[in-house]
Amino acid sequence: MRKKIVAGNWKMYNDLSETTILLAALKEQVFPEDVNVMVAPAFTNLQYASDTLREHPVTVAAQNMHQSEKGAFTGEVSAVMLKSIGVETVILGHSERRAYFNENSALLAEKVNSALSNNMTAIFCFGEELVDRKAGKHFDVVREQLEDGLFHISEKDWKHIILAYEPVWAIGTGETASPEQAQEIHQFIRKTISENYSEAIAENVSILYGGSVKPANAEEIFGQKDVDGGLIGGASLDAESFIAIVNAF
Ligand code: PGA
């Protein structure tokens, strides 16, 4: 059975004192038992978050990592380092990484491999840009991103994968895919996995929607048959709105 997941991507927001305040508010909450709540603070605050949430059901994720386990890669952080502070989940391929840090599918495939070989869970992000959608190419773009970055993994690896469909035109723009648009593409994603792997794998993978999810639209989006939760940016920085989104399930 696939899991319901709400993950907050804090991006390059929240210094240590802001992180402390936000985590304290989340720690007080009793979230619905069937919803897996995750937060992804900046690297500098990961150890604090991991320590403070050690006995708590909220999972701490990193926003990125390098594909190698160690080496002369100034400024980078590896899977081994994340694991050493208790972080076992990592967001890979966020559209901001793809756009501003030149992360392409070949590189992402290597990052996925590093996550899997270190027994981490990867939240694999993908999604089309506005030009693709306007040209009616969104299905092709999404299929290619999956094929090139992810579909080399083995069947057994799928239990360590969470998918996050994030149309670039909806990220941080206030513009959300309609619930019908989200359902249409999530269904397509599941069908594509089923064709390349099996129906069982397609049915068991959680597919999150990301892009301007807020308390006002979360319930309708999460209510779609093939939407298993959300990757939340802006609205995850405010305790009250993030809690409301989790409770929208
Ligand atoms: P947003 O960001 O919710 O602010 O649109 C989503 C994301 O980038 O994951």
pLDDT in tens, 203-242: 999 999 999 999 999 999 999 999 999 999 999 999 999 9
Query: Quick one: which H or E segment has residue 4?
Result: strand 4-9
Q: What is the mean predicted confidence (pLDDT) over 45-70?
A: 97
Cα 128 to ligand 1 centroid, rounded to whole Å? 14
Q: Would you tell me how many other CB atoms lie within 10 Å of the CB of residue 20?
A: 15
Ligand 1 pocket mutation, candidates 98, 231, 236, 237, criterion most atoms within 8 A of CB: 231
Going by C-beta distance under 8 Å and a sequence separation of 6 or more, which residues neighbour residue 23? 39, 48, 49, 52, 53
Query: Percent helix, strand, coil in the chain (nearest 5)?
Result: 45, 15, 40
Q: Which residue minimizes the CA distance to atom 3 of ligand 1?
A: 233
Ligand 1 is surrounded, with C-beta below 6 A, by: 9, 166, 171-172, 210-213, 231-235
Q: What is the mean predicted confidence (pLDDT) over 100-119?
A: 98
Return the ligand 1 atom nearest residue 11 CA: 8
- Most distant CA atoms of the chain, gap in Å: 48
Give the predicted TM-score (pTM) of the model: 0.97
How confident is residue 174, by pLDDT bands cut at 50, 70 and 90? confident
Query: Quick one: which H or E segment has residue 5?
Result: strand 4-9
8-state DSSP, 115: H
Q: What pLDDT sits at residue 177?
A: 86
Cα distance between residue 4 and residue 18, in whole Å: 27
Sign of the C-alpha dihedral computed for residues 172, 174, 175 and 177 taken in this order? positive
Q: Which two tokens stand for residue 100?
A: 């501003």
Q: Which of 66, 94, 138, 186 is catalytic?
A: 94
Known catalytic residue at 94: yes
Q: What percent of the chain has pLDDT over 90?
A: 95
Known catalytic residue at 56: no
Query: Quick one: which H or E segment has residue 194?
Result: helix 179-196
Average pLDDT, the chain: 96
Q: Which residue minimizes the CA distance to atom 2 of ligand 1?
A: 233
How confident is residue 108, by pLDDT bands cut at 50, 70 and 90? very high
Q: Would you tell me how many other CB atoms lie within 10 Å of the CB of residue 214?
A: 19
Cα distance between residue 228 and residue 98, in whole Å: 24
Return the ligand 1 atom nearest residue 210 CA: 6
Q: Is the pLDDT of residue 6 over 90?
A: yes
